[in-house]
Amino acid sequence: MNVLLDHLADFREGFIGTVLLTLASGLLAMILGVVIAGFRVSPVPPLRMFGTAWVTLFRNTPLTLLFLIAWFVVPVIFVPGLSPWTKALLALGFYTSAFVCEAVRSGINTVPMGQAEAARSLGMSFSQTLRLIILPQATRSVIAPLSSIFIALTKNSAIAGAFSVTELFGVQKLLSDKGFPIAWIFLWVALGYLVVTFSISGLFRLLERRLGVAR
Amino acid sequence: MTKVTVAKEDVATSDELVVLKSVNKHFGALHVLQDIDLTIARGEVVVVIGPSGSGKSTLCRTINRLETIDSGTITIDGKPLPHEGRELARLRADVGMVFQSFNLFAHKTVLENVMLGQVKVRKADKTKAEEKARSLLDRVGVGTQADKYPAQLSGGQQQRVAIARALAMDPKVMLFDEPTSALDPEMINEVLEVMQQLAREGMTMIVVTHEMGFARSAANRVVFMADGRIVEQAEPNQFFNNPRSDRAREFLSKILHH
């Protein structure tokens, strides 16, 4: 108990770090995931190939390896001088976007073919059809898998702690190195994660109820 | 019966609007369209009938390129069908399509369904689009349902909304792909009446249907398809009373006498 009260500032900082990193990389993953899903169902073959390559690359690479690449390869080959936080954001966001993409694509596949045919018959372009007709109707069936993906993202963000980004799991290392009882530290850290993941599943349950499309 | 003669007289001043020349299409090993030649004049109402699997729905869907063809040419108002892209989208906007399963946008209200194409494709002003949508909905008799969602409407009402949605684009030609096949019997007539009215007003229509009554009363020409070929084309009275081909005779004997 005392560990928490004595180091409330550390825990709070770690908790906020986790929340911010999860939110930011979740947002990045959402945007990238939806765009890449659009690529994957596009009538343009190069876009489809790019989408498939993206998903194959990021879904099949261990996240820790992506972190290592963000830390030691990206600065050398692409952009130098990124802060650790930005590098963690990119690694988490890109990794998670592959999963978001596949969830969104499965949602797209649940929308009856006739909806797209009707939209195209009216003269809508592919992107109009996707944006105005398909994605809004795909949303509901994507909510449940997305909830799981974001919960996984929250927990995956712990890896950033090992790369000296301030977040909840990193607090554990900090305090246990100072010799505090590890069981208590873990308990408080775990509770911190539970608060975030429960909020996510609650939010998504709410969304699911709101977004019913009657057929 | 007087209504019918009006529609038929309109054809006198017509030119070629939709032309299919030696169109072929395969679904794998199935040769679903075999050397189809078909010309539809402006203002003409052509009804395509035939046994199921004869390729009549596929024929209808090739005209706005929802189905691609393997060989041959399709031209609409003198322009050959372009490949997938902006130009095809522009052409599709001029070709109204009504589906067997209505395909109204489930997440939009009835009014929004009829406005969407005008606003997003024709870039029409929203107030004007709404005005037009409401008057079209009134015309097909579902004006009071404007703010409901498609799922709250009966099948017949949904199909009439779908017709209004297509008409909102001011199409040059309307394609009907078995528009009454998914409807309960008591709702078929309300849809057919709307289509009859369209035919009387001189709309060019290609109608794939099993409704022989509609074919008799509204069509200028009946196209009979079997096994991927056009077997016979004739004016409806001639076709129903005195079919030339054995295949048509056999088909008619099966459906007309119970």
Q: Quote the pLDDT of residue B4.
A: 44
The CATH H-level superfamily of B2-94+172-256 is P-loop containing nucleotide triphosphate hydrolases (3.40.50.300)
Contact between A137 and B107 using a beta-carbon 8 Å cutoff: yes
Q: Which of B92, B99, B101 sits opposite A123 (nearest CB)?
A: B92
Contact between A114 and B90 using a beta-carbon 8 Å cutoff: no
The gap between the terminal CA atoms of chain B, to the nearest Å, is 25
pLDDT tens digits for range B191-222: 999 999 999 999 999 999 999 999 999 999 99
Give chain B positions within 8 Å (CB) of A125: 86, 89
Cα–Cα dist A55/A78, whole Å = 20
The alpha carbon of residue A76 is apart from the nearest alpha carbon of chain B, in Å, by 41
- List the single best residue of B84, B94, B120 to mutate versus A (max A Cβ within 10 A): B120
How large is the angle between the packed helices A113-121 and B86-93, nearest 10 degrees? 80
- Between the CA atoms of B183, B184, B185 and B190, what dihedral angle is there, to the nearest 10 degrees? -60
Contact between B151 and A214 using a beta-carbon 8 Å cutoff: yes
Query: What share of chain B has pLDDT > 90, as a percent?
Result: 88
Parallel, antiparallel, or unpaired: how do β-strands B45-49 and B16-27 relate? Answer: unpaired
B121 or A184, higher pLDDT: B121
Contact between B92 and A121 using a beta-carbon 8 Å cutoff: yes
Assess whether pLDDT exceeds 60 at residue B153.
yes
pLDDT tens digits for range B105-139: 999 999 999 999 999 999 999 999 999 999 999 99
DSSP B75: E
Cβ–Cβ contact B117 with A under 8 A: yes
Q: Quote the pLDDT of residue A1.
A: 57
Cα–Cα dist A194/B41, whole Å = 69
Assess whether pLDDT exceeds 90 at residue B15.
no
Contact between B152 and A121 using a beta-carbon 8 Å cutoff: no
The alpha carbon of residue B248 is apart from the nearest alpha carbon of chain A, in Å, by 31
As a whole number, mean pLDDT of residues A171-192 equals 87
Closest B-chain CA to A117: B66
Q: Quote the pLDDT of residue A214.
A: 53
Contact between A120 and B165 using a beta-carbon 8 Å cutoff: no
Q: Quote the pLDDT of residue B2.
A: 41
* Cα-only R_g, chain B: 18
Contact between A133 and B105 using a beta-carbon 8 Å cutoff: yes
Sequence ranges of the domains in chain B: 2-94+172-256, 103-170
As a whole number, mean pLDDT of residues B74-80 equals 93
The alpha carbon of residue A204 is apart from the nearest alpha carbon of chain B, in Å, by 20
CB neighbourhood size of A71 (10 A)? 16
Cα–Cα dist B26/B34, whole Å = 9
Contact between A121 and B90 using a beta-carbon 8 Å cutoff: no
Assess whether pLDDT exceeds 50 at residue B5.
no
Least confident of B13-22, B92-101, B138-147: B13-22
Contact between B93 and A122 using a beta-carbon 8 Å cutoff: yes
User: Residue A21: what are its φ and ψ, rounded to 5°?
Assistant: -65, -40
Contact between A118 and B169 using a beta-carbon 8 Å cutoff: no
- CB contact at 8 A, A21 and A88: yes
Give chain B positions within 8 Å (CB) of A123: 89-94, 117, 121, 169
As a whole number, mean pLDDT of residues B238-248 equals 93
What average pLDDT does chain A have?
A: 92
Assess whether pLDDT exceeds 90 at residue A166.
no
Least confident of A27-41, A121-135, B242-256: B242-256
Least confident of A132-136, A161-165, B164-168: A161-165
Q: Which CATH architecture describes the domain A2-210? A: Orthogonal Bundle (1.10)
Give chain B positions within 8 Å (CB) of A214: 106, 149, 151-152
Q: Quote the pLDDT of residue B166.
A: 97
Q: Quote the pLDDT of residue A92.
A: 96
Cα–Cα dist A214/A140, whole Å = 11
Q: Quote the pLDDT of residue A169.
A: 86
Read off the tokens for B211: 């409704």
Cβ–Cβ contact B107 with A under 8 A: yes
pLDDT tens digits for range A36-92: 999 999 989 999 999 999 999 999 999 999 999 999 999 888 888 889 999 999 999
Complex prediction ipTM: 0.88
Cα–Cα dist B116/A128, whole Å = 11
Closest CA to B209 of B62, B34, B9, B47: B47
Closest CA to A165 of A174, A153, A175: A174
Contact between A128 and B120 using a beta-carbon 8 Å cutoff: yes
User: Residue B54: what are its φ and ψ, rounded to 5°?
Assistant: -85, -10
Contact between B105 and A124 using a beta-carbon 8 Å cutoff: no
Give chain B positions within 8 Å (CB) of A121: 64, 66, 92, 95-97, 166
- Tokens 């590890």 correspond to A182
Sequence ranges of the domains in chain A: 2-210
User: Residue B221: what are its φ and ψ, rounded to 5°?
Assistant: -150, 140
The alpha carbon of residue A212 is apart from the nearest alpha carbon of chain B, in Å, by 9
The alpha carbon of residue B115 is apart from the nearest alpha carbon of chain A, in Å, by 11
Give chain B positions within 8 Å (CB) of A120: 66, 89, 92
Query: What share of chain B has pLDDT > 70, as a percent?
Result: 93
